[in-house]
Structure 1
């Protein structure tokens, strides 16, 4: 049997998804209703990774819209982590005392079906004008307590390399900013976009005190295709430290085996696992959310399987904008004076835990 044809253009309409074999013809009407609410885009690179014969394919599940998105649970909200509440000027989200988010645009190469900004992304008019970018950077420059700028969106690597380089230079000219971090899905969704020119635009200039980092969003080991691995290598070889962000998704990566394979693959590709996010309360995403207890059990299993360098921190972004907190399993029992190991066995630690440290 011949392989299905991979499209050459990004798929954005329900009819195109059906023609590519990604949705059944009978689902077109429902997907059109989803597309009227939330942006749709599936790149050829991602279609090539999908097993179109598998109705539960973990890659397709992340990007191909479904009728389940039309069901909004009572606890879900349009702005689940309080971006709007904490946006003092357009393009800035200031939730923590030492860092801000900068969103220069709201378009992405692909639209994840679980995205916490799903009500906003895809808006081409969300790109900041020069005057708005000036105002956003002036906000940062006027606040010496800010040490880090996190460029997100949308996907900032959708900007041309020249605009990325200009942004790096402008942030680097703010004396109190020490770290500039970019968050992107591009190396997975459109790896050919990660050219040598783009990697160079993200490179730290000689003599600069500004540290540049890139966090890449990866949820399944199959997303690390040969093209994606090459893109990550270009970025790492340019001197850019790489982190990963992963969302824990039911039916995609909610097993210790898949998460283990993913974290090992990331480390092999010089990407340090950073966060494993519990899914946010975005509208129409309840079919993706496992329970927190299930997530904690997965993290406990990883602790017994992987070295520290491959362990992400399991986090929850508190609804309304109160910030991220770790929600991983606990190992220390204060009342019993015991500690549990990765497989759940309890070990007494009462004497050592309470004994004072002698003066040096």
Structure 2
């Protein structure tokens, strides 16, 4: 048994565990966990500094999860876009492929709270059906493995799935969406990296939400993936009480770059039943973006997006940099709120640019002779 599997076995995941470790009401914990499974592995537990801190809020069951029954269970309409149970096909050329329902730590804000932790939601038949669906749809060139967390699978099982996808000629890109580098970095092993290297191009998107999650262990995990030739991106969720502060986000984004992880998205938290208490006003996200662009390296600035309810896809939200725009000029402001006027160009004023082939040696001699005659 590998270290990460041993740590998983030591996780807190029952009402009795929570009552014993934290001294909380066992019946209350049972009430929450029966609806939304909980698991905190020893590594992620060690990152908690005090009750109610940004790490605690992400992993500790809260009675608020049972208080927003009016919210939708499936806000992104994933189930309606699932031709087979393991596939969500929302965009033309790519699919989300759910290969497990299990996670090493159950985030309390998860948009798939209706599915995670329930082993009946994903099984081997569903996985095989997903591979067959991808094989029969040549427009699919990009497959994102998700779940649950795909790295909850053993190396052997994960390789079986990736190998089957690589044998489909039209699948060009394989992505893995995993929180393991953040919540259980011991899962990133030399064996795993060596296996993944055989199936390039492989991309990993991981999920850090707070600077405290960047530790020597998570740094090592992300750098191992990068050393294996696997680009690593990060998808942060904007969460009330966790990272809804521009300077916390600045620190997080800078620290991610330092461990060779490229910030990719900041998500507005989805309107999900059991997670509505994490949502922030959209103006908070816009203010955060305003304090990132120009204030830190452009490499560290992600897109702020809303995943549109009803399956509309990701929509970028930007601060307002354009103050006015007419046919002659555009008035803009920069990150310091300094105002600039930039002259625009009218379509009918643009001269047609014609392609001039490279002159032959003979033509170059004639040109040079003309220059000499003029001089």
Please confirm whether the aligned pair reaches a TM-score higher than 0.5, indicating the same fold.
yes
Matched, 1:352 2:344: yes
Equivalent-residue separation in structure 1 for 2:119 and 2:13 (angstroms):
14
Matched, 1:66 2:62: yes
Q: Contact conserved, 2:321 with 2:333, CA < 8 A, in 1?
A: yes
User: Where in structure 2 are the equivalents of 1:52-63 lying within 5 Å?
Assistant: 54-63=50-59
Matched with 1:146 is: 140
Q: Which among 215, 220, 238 is matched to residue 248 of structure 1?
A: 238
Matched, 1:115 2:130: no
1:203 to partner: Cα distance: 1.4
Equivalent-residue separation in structure 1 for 2:202 and 2:259 (angstroms):
18
Question: What is the SS of the residue equivalent to 2:294?
Answer: helix
1:7 to partner: Cα distance: 11
Equivalent-residue separation in structure 2 for 1:200 and 1:189 (angstroms):
21
Of stretches 303-312 and 110-119 in structure 1, the one that deviates more from structure 2 is 303-312
1:343 to partner: Cα distance: 3.6
Equivalent-residue separation in structure 2 for 1:328 and 1:31 (angstroms):
40
Post-superposition Cα deviations, 1:90-120, rounded to whole Å, max 9, x if no partner, equal 2000000010000011111110000000111
Summarize the Cα distance change of 1:20–1:354 in structure 2 as closer, same or farther, 3 Å threshold. farther
Matched, 1:79 2:74: yes
Post-superposition Cα deviations, 1:116-151, rounded to whole Å, max 9, x if no partner, equal 00111001223331x432321121112221110000
Equivalent-residue separation in structure 1 for 2:296 and 2:278 (angstroms):
25
Summarize the Cα distance change of 1:340–1:157 in structure 2 as closer, same or farther, 3 Å threshold. same
Q: Which among 108, 111, 127 is matched to residue 122 of structure 2?
A: 127
Matched with 2:152 is: 158
Q: Which among 283, 293, 309 is matched to residue 283 of structure 2?
A: 293
Equivalent-residue separation in structure 1 for 2:116 and 2:312 (angstroms):
22
Could you state the TM-score of these two structures normalised by the residue count of structure 2? 0.87
Summarize the Cα distance change of 1:28–1:132 in structure 2 as closer, same or farther, 3 Å threshold. closer
Q: Contact conserved, 1:162 with 1:201, CA < 8 A, in 2?
A: no
Equivalent-residue separation in structure 1 for 2:129 and 2:19 (angstroms):
44
Post-superposition Cα deviations, 1:142-192, rounded to whole Å, max 9, x if no partner, equal 222111000000000011111112222111111111110000011121111
Where has structure 1 moved over 6 Å in runs of 4 or more? Answer: none
Q: Contact conserved, 2:18 with 2:29, CA < 8 A, in 1?
A: no
User: Where in structure 2 are the equivalents of 1:159-308 lying within 5 Å?
Assistant: 159-205=153-199, 210-308=200-298
Whose Rg is larger?
2
Matched with 1:32 is: 30
- Size of the alignment, in residue pairs? 343
Q: Contact conserved, 1:164 with 1:201, CA < 8 A, in 2?
A: no
Matched with 1:100 is: 95
1:353 to partner: Cα distance: 5.7
